[in-house]
Amino acid sequence: MESKERIRFDNVSMQYQTPGGLLEVVKQMSFSVNQGDFISLVGPSGCGKTTLLNMAAGFLKPSSGVVTLDGTPIEGPGPDRGVMFQEYGVFPWLTVEQNIAFGLNLKANGGRSTQEKQAIIDRYLELMGLSSFRRAYPKTLSGGMRQRLALARTYAVHPEFVLMDEPFGALDAQTRSAMHDLLLEVLHAEGKTVLLITHSVEEAVYLSNKVLVISARPSRIQEVIDIPFPYPRAHSLQETPEFNTLRSRIHNLVMREYAAQEAQAATKMAG
């Protein structure tokens, strides 16, 4: 059964004004994000993935076309959409606990009593294994712990949508893998809808129910690949032939687009 459409990119194009002229980044792209989807965007560097995420977040408007949420054009950011960027997105001047509390104390997320807020903070401290570091400052934490704190901050305000731009890129393989499972656990418990940008095809296949391969610029959707594995998922999935078949299929598609983008860049240099 197809679930309800929530976010829709409808014939979206984006051009940026650059010193070298108008750069056509996204071209007439249409796709939907349904309730409960975990969609990964993969594609060559500079193909416009962050641009698309920023449109869903409400930080950017398309040059033409429209991005809607439940049928209404997105006009700006909102507490229903939690955004997590590559940089960890934690405030160095606040303690772990204050970082998690930050979003909860914003007016847009108002309406909760002090006890309710404390219960949410305690729950995420516990879930992310940060309880004994509640009064620590981010600089005293490891990369993985800072990443968990960033996730806790994003989740604490209970956004319906989690929009993530390469959130695990800087982590070592083990921490990354632990973060994947933690993410799947929280999503399973709280039923969120996710858009993730990643350069790791493996990560995309392991986490998503759908992978969008974005083409070289001007970008279109090259292919939408359904990932049929049921949730909850376990690491052993990554050892199966089915997983590897999908991984190499998507990898080949992405490599082709990387090559196309490189060729474009080379032509430009030569011209």
Stretch that binds ligand ATP, among 40-48, 87-95, 122-130, 240-248 (CB under 6 A): 40-48
Instruction: Identify the residue whose tokens are 């507490």.
Output: 79
The letter for the amino acid at 44 is P
The residue from 48, 62, 89, 218 that contacts ligand ATP (CB under 6 A) is: 48
Identify the sign of the CA torsion 218, 220, 223, 227: positive
Per DSSP, helices labelled H in the chain are: 49-57, 96-104, 114-127, 143-156, 173-190, 201-207, 241-270
Nearer to ligand ATP, 106 or 259 (CB): 259
**Which tokens go with 125?**
């401290």
Stretch that binds ligand ATP, among 2-10, 27-35, 49-57, 65-73 (CB under 6 A): 49-57
125 is a contact residue toward ligand ATP (CB under 6 A): no
CA distance linking residue 61 with residue 14, whole number of Å: 8
The residue from 6, 49, 192, 210 that contacts ligand ATP (CB under 6 A) is: 49
The residue from 7, 38, 51, 147 that contacts ligand ATP (CB under 6 A) is: 51
Residue 48 pairs in a beta bridge with: none
Nearer to ligand ATP, 63 or 68 (CB): 63
Number of residues located near ligand ATP, criterion CB under 6 A = 11
47 is a contact residue toward ligand ATP (CB under 6 A): yes
Contacts of 140 (CB under 8 A, 6+ apart): 133
Binding site for ligand ATP (CB under 6 A): 16, 18, 23, 25, 45-51
